[in-house]
Each structure stands twice: as C-alpha cells, then as structure tokens.
Amino acid sequence: MTFEENLAKLEQLSNDIKRTDISLEDALKDFEEGIKLAKTLEVDLQKIEGKIQILMNQPVSAKESPSGRAVEPELDLFTAVNAETGSSGAPNQGLRQDS
C-alpha cells in the first residue's frame, strides 16, 4: 500500500474507534492495526526525510545566463513563512485541511 493509502486507512480506523456503537473487542482490534500502521508510516516518513536531507545537502550547479555569467539558483522554496499559518512555504497541495 502507498503512504497515502496507509494514512487513509489509519484515519478510518481512528474514526471507527470513536464510534459509540463499536464493541470493545473491535475497538481493540482496530487500535492494534492502527498502531502497526502508525509505525509503518513513521518509518516511511523517516526514509522520505532522509532522502530530502540528501537532496538539500547536494551542491547545486549554477546555470549560465544568456550573457555567459553564472546565475545563482533560487533555493527559497522552504524559507518563506506564511503569516496566516506561521508555517514555512512548503507546498501543501493534496494535504487534508480540517476546518
């Protein structure tokens, strides 16, 4: 299963546990499955973070402008802080936003 599928399954298990009509046995089963999924997701995130660290630490080659001079790359993708959320400018497309 993909990361997104595992995350969706974990959210579904969480919602199922919160139901008032669920038996204790079913809630415990869902909880155990949720813990396993959470551990899997944590490992997946650590792998992704490691890859990002490697990519961020690689030297970036400068591109040449039409005049032949080197143009410094713009690496401000994650430096801006959003005044509304207080978070970095990291893309959040596709992430679930609860209101």
pTM over 0.85: no
pLDDT in tens, 36-65: 999 999 999 999 999 999 998 887 665 666
Q: Between residues 34 and 82, which one has the greater pLDDT?
A: 34
What sign does the dihedral 3-49-92-38 (CA atoms) show? positive
Q: Which residues contact 21 (CB under 8 A, 6 or more apart)?
A: none
Q: Where are the domains of the chain?
A: 3-60
Q: Which residues contact 27 (CB under 8 A, 6 or more apart)?
A: 16, 17
Degrees, nearest 5: CA angle 56-92-51: 25
